A and B are shown apart, each in its own frame.
Chain A
Amino acid sequence: MMGIPGNWRLRKQRYQLAGTRCRDCGTIHFPPRQVCPRCKNRHLSDFKLSGKGTVYSYTTIYQTTPKFQFFVPYVVALIDLEEGPRITAQLTDVDPEAVTIGMPVEMVLRKISEQGERGLIHYGYKFRPRLR
């Protein structure tokens, strides 16, 4: 289970959807990479994703581990972001029955999990039906 340094390391990705963009072929990646998987170029720049996308697939989870028990039943989705990358994230502020493939969603910052009553609380991206 990840401790404080691990969460600190991932803060830009978790809070800002910080990815990378290949300076050669223009491919945008999330998570950030050191090598472009498309053209093997190693000259990449930081790229912040807009957080807008559509649902590619989804599942409602009924059985999970204690870390996520608080949220059951919750929806996890694969989301196609507008800039290209596909991302795995929870959906929030939505009735699981109302989720559909192709539904427009946007990123919000939420509590992702907690390590027990006295442990760390992890924050990061979730996605909700698009309002804006």
Chain B
Amino acid sequence: MRPVAIVGVGQTPVREHWDAGLRELAVQAVWQALDESGRTSVDVFYVGNMLSGTLTGQEHLATLIAEYAGLAGVEAVKAEAACGSGAAAFRQAMLAVASGAAEVALAVGVEKLTETSTHKTTDGLASAADADYETAMGISFVALNALLMRRYMHEYGYRKADFAAFVEVAHRNAVHNPNAMFRHPVTREQYERAKIVADPVNLLDSSPIADGASAVVLTSLERVKEFPTVPVWVAACEVSTDTIALDNRENPLWLKAAEQSVRKALKNSGLTHRDIQLFELHDAFSIMSALSLEGSGFAEKGEAVKLADEGYFAIDGTLPISTFGGLKARGHPVGATGLYQIVEATLQLRGEAPHSIQIPDARTAMAQNIGGSGATIITTILTKERL
């Protein structure tokens, strides 16, 4: 497989975009990325999206977006892996270039969650779980995370308030990200007073429903010199899966797909945990941050919440997470999220992050996108220098 580099990125602000639909959002991100890369065409075009059919009645999405981007004729297909759709599209684009099938590939993630009632969106998001045996029983996506959080607190002896650090970190970082949805800090007192959605998960544990699009242009080592941008290298992008239903996992608190995808990614890149300087993790809910850090090997079982409380994951901590605000505060336009994470990690490695959230001398970054309650996990490692 050939080395692959990111040579263009684009992103819309994460907002409730009442004046823009799927095509307008996606085209905006696509052309930001193309403009950066100095190109007006690509060989392959992948779209990451979860709910276009369910919420807006629009499938056949990649062809639609390619056409409205002025790229009609290009090979275009949608990748879907629930909230992991963005990174799933990225991996397809990476494979297309790595294999030699394409020289220039584009991946765009897009999601439009605010065009319908909150109930319909909530139902749509729950379709990431097992429809016959989880959602049919009245479980929402929040509730699945609540089941995990309750068990985690039970096994490791935490109180609800102990999770505040994850929320504080994300919101503190988002203040400096102009594309973030919530650019305001959250205090511990606000966290402890927040409205319960599904006990023990409250509103501030949960990432917001939002619209947005994010895109990258990828090319091969052979072509990289033709591009005006400083390349960022894809050292690894690996996917693992687990059972779709939470209840079928031997230990629901252990994200086996995180463990496996991280192991593969580190092995393929020849890197170790110590090399990772920042981690864009999938903090859709506070508990998911803890489980992701533990499953990925950055914290011992039951230790992630304690480390968070000690400042370990703050922007000036040992392993900064959610440096642009994460899903929690940047926002979580589900099928676009994986590509937001990759765009943000790219900006960090280019040294182009806003000053207050720039990780000094960032050379190696990890991004992890999670579909469902841990059923699909995609771990990407990006580097400043080619390994």
Q: Name A residues whose Cβ lies closer than 8 Å to a Cβ of B.
A: 2, 10, 13, 31, 37, 56-68, 71, 74, 76-78, 85-90, 96, 101, 112-113, 122, 124
Q: Contact at A59–B137, with CB atoms within 8 Å?
A: no
Given A64-B138, A68-B138, A88-B137, A59 and B146 contact (CB-CB distance below 8 Å): yes
The answer to whether B132 has its CB under 8 Å from any CB of chain A is yes
Q: Name B residues whose Cβ lies closer than 8 Å to a Cβ of A.
A: 119, 122-123, 131-134, 136-140, 142-143, 146-148, 150-151, 154, 196-201, 243, 245-248, 252
Q: Contact at A61–B143, with CB atoms within 8 Å?
A: yes
Question: What B residues does A60 contact at CB under 8 A?
Answer: 196, 198-199
Closest beta carbon of chain A to B236's beta carbon, Å = 27
Q: Contact at B198–A58, with CB atoms within 8 Å?
A: no
Q: Contact at B140–A65, with CB atoms within 8 Å?
A: yes
Question: What B residues does A57 contact at CB under 8 A?
Answer: 147-148, 150-151, 154, 252
Partner of A58, one of B137, B150, B201: B150
Question: What B residues does A63 contact at CB under 8 A?
Answer: 140, 142, 197-198
Q: Of all chain A residues, which has the CB nearest B134?
A: A88
Q: Contact at B248–A76, with CB atoms within 8 Å?
A: no
Docked Cα-Cα span, A65 to B123, in Å, equals: 7
Partner of B143, one of A10, A76, A86: A76
Closest beta carbon of chain B to A13's beta carbon, Å = 8
Docked Cα-Cα span, A48 to B196, in Å, equals: 37
A-B contact pairs, 19 of them (CB 8 A): A2-B136, A13-B132, A37-B243, A56-B151, A58-B147, A59-B143, A59-B146, A59-B201, A61-B198, A65-B122, A68-B138, A78-B246, A88-B137, A88-B139, A90-B138, A112-B137, A112-B138, A113-B138, A122-B136
Decide if the interface of chain A is mainly helix, strand, loop or mixed: strand
Q: Contact at A61–B246, with CB atoms within 8 Å?
A: no
Question: What A residues does B200 contact at CB under 8 A?
Answer: 59
Closest beta carbon of chain A to B117's beta carbon, Å = 9
Q: Contact at B199–A88, with CB atoms within 8 Å?
A: no
Docked Cα-Cα span, A95 to B132, in Å, equals: 26
Given A57-B147, A57-B154, A58-B150, A76 and B247 contact (CB-CB distance below 8 Å): no
Q: Contact at B119–A65, with CB atoms within 8 Å?
A: yes
Q: Of all chain A residues, which has the CB nearest B131?
A: A2
Question: What B residues does A112 contact at CB under 8 A?
Answer: 136-138
Docked Cα-Cα span, A2 to B123, in Å, equals: 13
Closest 10 CB pairs of A and B: A59-B146, A57-B151, A68-B138, A60-B199, A86-B247, A57-B147, A59-B198, A61-B198, A88-B247, A65-B119
Q: Contact at B140–A64, with CB atoms within 8 Å?
A: yes
Q: Of all chain A residues, which has the CB nearest B196?
A: A62
Question: What B residues does A101 contact at CB under 8 A?
Answer: 150-151, 154
Residue among B134, B151, B248 facing the most chain A CB atoms (10 A cut-off)? B248
Closest beta carbon of chain A to B16's beta carbon, Å = 19
Q: Of all chain A residues, which has the CB nearest B120?
A: A65
Closest beta carbon of chain B to A54's beta carbon, Å = 13
Q: Of all chain B residues, which has the CB nearest A63?
A: B197
Residue among B150, B196, B246 facing the most chain A CB atoms (10 A cut-off)? B150
Q: Of all chain A residues, which has the CB nearest B133?
A: A31
Question: What A residues does B131 contact at CB under 8 A?
Answer: 2
Q: Contact at B198–A87, with CB atoms within 8 Å?
A: no
Known: A76-B137, A87-B133. 17 other contacts (CB 8 A): A57-B148, A59-B146, A59-B198, A60-B199, A61-B138, A61-B139, A62-B198, A63-B198, A65-B119, A67-B138, A76-B143, A77-B147, A78-B246, A86-B247, A88-B134, A88-B247, A113-B136
Docked Cα-Cα span, A56 to B246, in Å, equals: 12
Closest beta carbon of chain B to A111's beta carbon, Å = 11
Q: Contact at B151–A71, with CB atoms within 8 Å?
A: no
Closest beta carbon of chain B to A55's beta carbon, Å = 10
Q: Of all chain B residues, which has the CB nearest A57?
A: B151
Q: Contact at B140–A61, with CB atoms within 8 Å?
A: yes
Q: Contact at A78–B138, with CB atoms within 8 Å?
A: no
Question: What B residues does A2 contact at CB under 8 A?
Answer: 131, 136
Closest beta carbon of chain A to B126's beta carbon, Å = 8
Given A58-B150, A60-B199, A31 and B132 contact (CB-CB distance below 8 Å): yes
Question: What B residues does A13 contact at CB under 8 A?
Answer: 132-133
Question: What A residues does B143 contact at CB under 8 A?
Answer: 59, 61, 76
Given A31-B133, A86-B247, A66 and B154 contact (CB-CB distance below 8 Å): no
